[in-house]
Chains A and B, each alone.
Chain A
């Protein structure tokens, strides 16, 4: 652990103009941003080697605050922009930040196909189980029975798991963490950025303003306590019975496998087709 964590974080921020940030008091997005910065610092990447791109939503503000190459794109389409960046500049480390609605509702199609295609990208998906910025409408990950602005009597749809969707869609690396288990989150993001292939980190986060207040968890502390009490590590989950696991969620690395990466395959195709300079940037 570096001696002065905050000093390290301040090194990567556009701190002269944009702080304090726009997120609500206690919002998990700030914790994720800190984790991401520590992971990048530990990997020894310079600010110029990293691209941080985002879609729309609270998480979309994240690139505004860091001094990397940054891009704030349209709703749900960040993976398409990131695909373009990666194909044009394969040497760049491309990281995308999305929310649960951004990644799996508006951008759901892009998400599954980016995972299937296995581009060497990292997708950090902050799952706060609601559309926070637009006023608390339910999202694809809002749990059954919980309340939202558009489900005042309880949600009648069932949520799906982002991480398991990513595993099924073919991502090379999938991890799930929470903003409570910060040290695990640091390691997951570090592993995801390092991984060659499409890597997904689902971060269970807190929106105590839009989700918590409607579901008897009206402050960041109760939401973090909920994460502490309901998260089970992958190792421990293997030893538990289905009854014990009811209502819990697993954290840790869900899948980590080697697969051919799209950019390398594409270079090979170009070589076979007789194109010039297969390895270089366009």
Chain B
């Protein structure tokens, strides 16, 4: 429980930081493209492999224990197939909301 809480607050912080970074780092080729953050609750994951097998962009790989790893999170299109089909409620996909002003040239 405590681990999960810690993780949740950590992501909130990184979320805030991500939007700051967008302003400073300028805009690459992916301007206007939605970006997503994926979180795996390892305590609940049973490594069934559904998320990895059906990901339309093949974003998900495997760690040494067989669990899912989001190898190319920037390619995630946010379809949430993994989140909706995870029988163990172990995956969350969140949209990273960028500051609209940061996208201007």
Among the interface residues A21, A30, A179, which one has the most CB atoms of the partner chain B within 10 A? A30
> A27–B87 contact, CB under 8 A?
yes
B16 interface contact, C-beta 8 A: no
CA–CA, A5 and B49, complex, Å? 20
Among the interface residues A13, A16, A27, which one has the most CB atoms of the partner chain B within 10 A? A27
Contact of B84 among A5, A16, A21, A219 (CB under 8 A): A5
A153 interface contact, C-beta 8 A: no
B44 surroundings in chain A (CB, below 8 A): 19-20
Interface members, chain A 199-237 (any B CB < 8 Å): 219-221, 224
A3 surroundings in chain B (CB, below 8 A): 94-95
Using CB atoms, name the residue of chain A closest to B53: A221
A34 surroundings in chain B (CB, below 8 A): 84, 86-87, 89
Interface string of A171-193 (1 = CB under 8 A from B): 00000000110110000000000
> A220–B50 contact, CB under 8 A?
yes
A-B Cβ contacts below 8 A, count: 75
Interface string of A21-42 (1 = CB under 8 A from B): 1011111111100100000000
A6 interface contact, C-beta 8 A: yes
A6-B46 CB under 8 A given contacts A26-B87, A27-B87, A30-B86: no
Using CB atoms, name the residue of chain B closest to A30: B87
B54 surroundings in chain A (CB, below 8 A): 221, 224
A221 surroundings in chain B (CB, below 8 A): 49-50, 53-54
B91 interface contact, C-beta 8 A: yes
Interface residues on B, range: 20 to 34
> A6–B83 contact, CB under 8 A?
yes
B86 surroundings in chain A (CB, below 8 A): 6, 30-31, 34
> B48–A25 contact, CB under 8 A?
yes
> A20–B46 contact, CB under 8 A?
yes
B10 interface contact, C-beta 8 A: no
A5 surroundings in chain B (CB, below 8 A): 80, 83-84, 92-93
Using CB atoms, name the residue of chain A closest to B46: A25
A10 interface contact, C-beta 8 A: yes
B104 interface contact, C-beta 8 A: no
Report the minimal beta-carbon distance from B50 to chain A, rounded to whole angstroms. 6
Report the minimal beta-carbon distance from A207 to chain B, rounded to whole angstroms. 12
A273 interface contact, C-beta 8 A: no
A9 interface contact, C-beta 8 A: yes
A7 interface contact, C-beta 8 A: yes
Using CB atoms, name the residue of chain A closest to B81: A182
Among the interface residues B49, B89, B94, which one has the most CB atoms of the partner chain A within 10 A? B89
B95 surroundings in chain A (CB, below 8 A): 3
Chain A residues engaging chain B, CB cutoff 8 angstroms: 1, 3-7, 9-10, 13, 16, 19-21, 23-31, 34, 179-180, 182-183, 219-221, 224
Chain B residues engaging chain A, CB cutoff 8 angstroms: 1, 43-50, 53-54, 80, 83-95
Q: A20-B46, A21-B88 are in contact. List 16 more A-B contacts (CB 8 A).
A: A4-B92, A4-B94, A20-B88, A23-B87, A25-B48, A25-B87, A30-B88, A31-B86, A31-B87, A34-B86, A180-B85, A183-B84, A219-B49, A220-B48, A224-B54, A224-B85
Q: Top 9 nearest A-B pairs by Cβ distance?
A: A30-B87, A26-B48, A25-B46, A25-B48, A221-B53, A6-B92, A20-B44, A182-B84, A9-B89
16 contacts between A and B (CB under 8 A): A1-B80, A3-B94, A6-B89, A20-B44, A20-B45, A20-B90, A25-B47, A26-B49, A26-B87, A34-B84, A34-B87, A34-B89, A182-B84, A220-B48, A220-B50, A221-B53
